[in-house]
């Protein structure tokens, strides 16, 4: 498959099961909502080392938020419910409770509930109060700038992590410019995040390592400096590879984000320096969800 001069490899991105949640963060203005959300989603690029993968999903207007203030929604994903619950509660306490004017609300309904402000209320040292509105409990915790308002719980759902594609280009600037174009398009898709810095990862990994303590290591087949030292996947003109990783609430969400991202790159044309689009295919070792590039770009992914 070739789109506007860019080759789309006949391969698939291999993704795995995760647990996910959404939290709505509001504040006096967007500036402080972003301060809170950026802190909460910091050090959350990969479950390999961070425990959780998190990112800002989108901005929300005053008409969309529970308290009528500007805000942002964030998504958080983990490999299991216990880890997700621990990470959510810790980050709420250290990043949202501490942030001036910030409040937090559930952003997703589910039969499975996890703590949002249920335990944070104890910071109020007995002065906290609660109110039940439309079967939802909210806590008001006195703090030095006034009070911290937080919904007691939020929903937790089954989700998917690790959707991805690789951008193969003739130079590092070309690969990065293409990745930036893709991320701009992908951020318009709901229910997904791209958790790495700026949405892009340069240190794509493979399963396993020559070192026993490492369960993931550099994807040497796509490292341009190793063309003569390993079983490379790169042709001579490829000098840089960037990867975009996607976590999402469902298969269709991730597939659509991949489609618009790849299309944005193809729209740049062959003159951009991008030669191929590929994906992280681990032969079924990583996860059960396979995002086939040709099917995605043909609109028949399932």
Q: What is the pLDDT of residue 301?
A: 66
Whether the predicted pLDDT of 302 surpasses 70: no
Q: What is the pLDDT of residue 207?
A: 81
Residues with Cβ within 8 Å of 16's Cβ and at least 6 positions away in sequence, in order, are 79, 160, 161, 162, 286, 287, 288, 289
Number of domains the chain contains: 2
pTM over cut 0.85: yes
Residues 185 and 266 occupy one common structural domain: yes
Residues 262 and 276 occupy one common structural domain: yes
Whether the predicted pLDDT of 11 surpasses 80: yes
Q: What is the pLDDT of residue 31?
A: 98
Residues 134 and 174 occupy one common structural domain: no
Query: Quick count: other Cβ atoms within 10 Å of Cβ 299?
Result: 9
Q: What is the pLDDT of residue 275?
A: 97
Contact 166, 277 (CB under 8 A): yes
Residues 146 and 164 occupy one common structural domain: no
Mean pLDDT of the residues in the chain: 95
Residues 97 and 134 occupy one common structural domain: yes
CA dihedral angle for residue 164, residue 165, residue 166, residue 167, rounded to 10 degrees: -130
Residue that finishes a domain, picked among 157, 183, 217: 157
Residues 163 and 292 occupy one common structural domain: yes
Residues 9 and 73 occupy one common structural domain: no
Residues 143 and 190 occupy one common structural domain: no
Tens of pLDDT, residues 249-272: 999 999 999 999 999 999 999 899
Q: What is the pLDDT of residue 300?
A: 73
Residue that finishes a domain, picked among 115, 141, 157: 157
Residues 133 and 190 occupy one common structural domain: no
Q: What is the pLDDT of residue 206?
A: 84
Whether the predicted pLDDT of 30 surpasses 70: yes
Residue 138 belongs to domain spanning: 19-157
Whether the predicted pLDDT of 102 surpasses 80: yes
Residue that finishes a domain, picked among 137, 157, 177: 157
Contact 255, 262 (CB under 8 A): no
Whether the predicted pLDDT of 1 surpasses 80: yes
Q: Work out the average pLDDT over 69-77.
A: 98
Residues 153 and 163 occupy one common structural domain: no
Strands 2-3 and 6-8: antiparallel
Percent of the chain residues topping a pLDDT of 90:
89
Tens of pLDDT, residues 106-127: 999 999 999 999 999 999 999 9
Tens of pLDDT, residues 179-224: 999 999 999 999 999 999 999 999 998 888 889 888 889 999 999 9
Residues 214 and 143 occupy one common structural domain: no
In degrees rounded to 5, what are phi and psi of residue 175? -65, -40
Residues 128 and 164 occupy one common structural domain: no
CATH code assigned at 94: 3.30.70.520
Residues with Cβ within 8 Å of 159's Cβ and at least 6 positions away in sequence, in order, are 17, 18, 19, 20, 77, 247, 248, 249, 250
The residue that leads in pLDDT, 49 or 86, is 86
Percent of the chain residues topping a pLDDT of 70:
99
Tens of pLDDT, residues 150-182: 999 999 999 999 999 999 999 999 999 999 999
Residues with Cβ within 8 Å of 108's Cβ and at least 6 positions away in sequence, in order, are 21, 22, 154, 155, 156, 157
Q: What is the pLDDT of residue 7?
A: 96
């Amino acid at each position: 498959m070739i789109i506007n001069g860019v080759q789309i490899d006949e391969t698939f991105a291999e993704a795995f099961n995760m647990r996910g949640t959404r939290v709505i963060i509001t504040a006096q203005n967007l500036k402080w909502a972003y301060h809170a959300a950026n802190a909460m989603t910091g050090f959350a690029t990969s479950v390999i080392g961070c425990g959780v993968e998190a990112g800002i999903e989108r901005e929300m207007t005053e008409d969309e938020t529970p308290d009528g203030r500007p805000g942002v929604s964030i998504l958080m994903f983990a490999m299991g419910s216990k880890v997700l619950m621990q990470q959510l509660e810790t980050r709420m306490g250290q990043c949202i409770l501490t942030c001036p004017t910030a409040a937090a609300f559930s952003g997703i309904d589910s039969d499975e509930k996890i703590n949002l402000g249920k335990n944070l209320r104890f910071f109020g040292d007995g002065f906290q109060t609660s109110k039940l509105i439309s079967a939802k409990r909210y806590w008001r915790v006195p703090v030095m700038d006034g009070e911290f308002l937080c919904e007691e719980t939020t929903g937790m759902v089954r989700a998917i992590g690790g959707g991805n594609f690789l951008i193969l280009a003739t130079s590092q600037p070309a690969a990065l410019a293409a990745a930036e174009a893709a991320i701009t398009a992908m951020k318009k898709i709901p229910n997904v995040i791209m958790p790495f810095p700026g949405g892009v990862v340069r240190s794509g990994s493979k399963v396993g390592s020559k070192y026993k303590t490492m369960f993931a290591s550099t994807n040497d087949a796509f490292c341009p400096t190793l063309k003569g030292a390993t079983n490379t996947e790169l042709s001579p003109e490829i000098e840089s590879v960037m990867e975009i990783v996607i976590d999402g609430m469902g298969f269709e969400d991730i597939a659509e984000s991949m489609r618009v991202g790849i299309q944005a790159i193809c729209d740049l044309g062959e003159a951009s320096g991008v030669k191929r689009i590929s994906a992280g295919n681990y032969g079924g070792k990583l996860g059960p969800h396979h995002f086939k590039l040709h099917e995605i770009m043909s609109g028949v992914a399932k």
